[in-house]
Amino acid sequence: MKKLKMRTIVLSIIAAGLAAGCGGGSGGTAGTGSTAAPSSAGNTSTSNGAGGTPGTGSAPDTGSTGNANSAPGSKATTWSSVKWGGGGYVTGLIFHPTTANLLYARTDIGGAYRWNQATSSWTPLTDGLGFGAAESKYHGIESIALDPNNDQLAYMATGMYTFEGNGRLYISSDRGDHWAYVDLPFPIGGNNSGRAMGERLMVDPNKPSTLFYGSRTAGLWKSADAGKTWAQVTSLASARMTQDQVNAVGGSAMGVELVVYDTGTKGSGTATQTIYAAIAPDYASAAGLSANMYKSADGGATWAPVATPVSGYHIPHMTRAADGMFYVVFTKDAGPGAGGPGRFYKFDGSNWTLLKSEDPNGGTNFGLGGVSVQGSGATARIALGVTNSWGSWNGQQIVQLSDDGGKTWREIEATMPGETTSGWVDDVEIDPSNRDHILHVHGGGIVETRNASAATPSWNGAISNIEETATLALTAAPAGAPYKFINSAGDIGTWLQTDLASKPTLGPTPNWSNGNSADMAWSDPLYIAGAGVANWSGAGGFGFWSGDGGKTWSNFAALPAGAQANTGSAGNMVVPSRNNVVWAPANSVPSYTTNSGASWTSTNLPALAVVGQGWDRGYRLAADRKNPNKVYAYDSGGAAWATAGKVYVSADGGHSFALSQGSVAANLAPNAYWATSMAVNPNAEGDLWLADGNTVYHSLDSGASWSKLNNFASGAGLQGASVIALGKAANGAKYSAAVYVVGTVNGVWGVYRSDDAGASWTRFNDDAHQFGGIGVMAADQSTYGRIYVSGTGRGLLYSN
């Protein structure tokens, strides 16, 4: 998946926490990358539940909280992923050097995974405590390190963007099933440019209590106590790049790109003395360093520059063979999918030998990415990733293989059978226990071959249970519809999910696009309309509809005012009935069509004022499912510092609206679009629910008056109530729908359910299932207790 748009998408997801009206939030505190940090890492906390997801990471699961009483049905303790398959950038693969099949994957926005050989699938490791709603930025994994002496021990450096402030180091003694974490004294950028470089974090094989970390903005750091505290290695450099310096290099500093130990032993008890560190051009300039590589011969006490055959290049990967020979990649650009020129050398500590070059040629600009070596000397097997080489054709390069130490090369992926992927080949790994098993990352996940020595190796995706899509809107279908929900997502577009275990096939376009919103006519669910962004062409916003349940699609012949230019995800669309659509593009006055988009007419809703800081805002729409003439529009204010929220009501299918004075009297908290939610009870006319980011409101008279529920409250960086959905009621329930709210009760964040119209609430998820926060949610209309949620970079998940 191309991630050119993903930074904006992820920032929208993270900003949900920032906009809670309580400060902080899942986005963390914006950091400059230049504030002096203590040598100690500071706070240490413990988390558990590798199978879990977003939550507070600190408050225990109390089950029923506040006046939340027991309710029909049980808590959802098992969850499954809705099938897409990958959908996001896996930035690194880390094998344990001696334990067969022990492999970890790190992603840029979706956390980390461990390979399960028994099931041939990946186990998510960052779903539970420590990865809650206020901690979504820690789903950006910048580096993972393993202890060669102890295959249970794993370290993981996390943080989405360096501007968000300092990162965390997570430490596990059971292969990621449980984590403790330490606050690091420097920023981490798991979704910044150059995120496949490394590894930046390394454990000393001989003295595993010693770790080094190559940071992006603050130089090299060392821990002498297994990661608990950290001190800057000032003997290399003491410079910390300011935010102005980071901005001057494009907003993403590369810093110290990797650390490599020069040793073939482990467990000696004496620290490895010879260490190499690669220095990016940006940090070399900021720190006054003279070279792009430095060497220490005394365990990091002192450092000396190493003369490299090219200068001013990045060194994304460097690996040591069994005989002590180093293999080093140089590429001009930082990546992902770095362009060239690219150079690949071997280095014996004194002499450099060129093994491969890539230069711009005939319209191509190939770079070099990942490298892996097995064996040594004249028979060393080397797998080398070629980056920015798009497509699969005769003469193309994706993965180059040498079985003679780099003297000769052959292509093993382009034009080969199976699933071949190119472009972002930024990490390549040869399985230490099987030289014919070669894997590499790409923008949509991982591919592998298990017969690399064959004349025509076959390739397949290795992404089972890795789900890294970013859903922006989710609409559940009525009972009896031929699909379960409509998924509108960043980068992959809009799709109808007919089978939770199969990748969807029904959608308006397979091209690279964003899906921003979609809806169906409730009494006629074969009629569907949606809005998206045509990333593939750069044409901006577009709309589409289907009259046959997604089998065929047509684009709207015309677009309403604001739809083409305002492509942010703070846009919304509802379908009161067939052919009738109301569309509220971001930052725009909503418009309606009565002819499936052949023409549009503006509604009378007020124009939205700009709230600042580049934030999009928009009207959140809801169509009454019992009376198609009623449409509701909610203006959340746009930001916590803006004006109070308001609700407008239409009695003519969304053509004209009147302000609900009851919503004014309710004094709805101002909040960002993505921190708020509105939903109707599909089983009762005029039954409307609203989450204003802080708490929940309920109206039984089509928005004329509102009752405030006092169960939910914001605090400690957590939103009180951000998402609301209504689904099938429990058998015998007094209220006609089960109500689900993503929010905080008595300081405990989670999903809460009420079966009695909000009189009582019980926590529905548990601490093991928090998913880095929940951005969107829909409730099934056929199965009680089933909801669909999006985690931070975790795709869609559903409760069992």
Name the residues annotated as catalytic.
108, 491
Tokens linked to 463: 């992404």
Residue 674 DSSP SS3: helix
User: Is the bond preceding residue 336 a cis peptide, omega within 30 degrees?
Assistant: yes
Max CA pair span of the chain: 81
Whose structure tokens read 């950038």? 89
Q: What share of the chain is helix, strand, coil (3-state, %, to 5)?
A: 5, 35, 55
Could you give the CA distance from residue 112 to residue 107 in angstroms, rounded to a whole number?
A: 6
Report yes or no: 315 and 293 within 8 Å, Cβ to Cβ: yes
- Rounded to whole angstroms, what are the CA distances from 21 to 286, 638, 716, 720? 37, 11, 11, 9
Q: Sign of torsion, CA 304 310 312 314?
A: negative
Report yes or no: 796 and 487 within 8 Å, Cβ to Cβ: yes
Helix, strand counts (H, E) of the chain: 4, 56
Amino acid at site 291? A
Question: Which residue spans within 239-378 are E strands per DSSP?
Answer: 256-261, 275-279, 293-296, 304-305, 318-320, 326-331, 342-347, 352-358, 367-374
Amino acid at site 356? K
E strand or H helix at 247, and its extent?
helix 243-248
Looking only at the bridges linking them, the beta strands covering 492-497 and 513-521 are parallel
Angle, vertex CA 30, rays to CA 28 and CA 31, nearest 5: 115
Strand partners, 744: 749
Whose structure tokens read 């003519």? 652
Report yes or no: 763 and 68 within 8 Å, Cβ to Cβ: yes
DSSP secondary structure string for all residues of 403-425: SSTTSS-EESSTT-SB----S--
User: Is the bond preceding residue 199 a cis peptide, omega within 30 degrees?
Assistant: yes
Could you give the CA distance from residue 718 to residue 716 in angstroms, rounded to a whole number?
A: 5
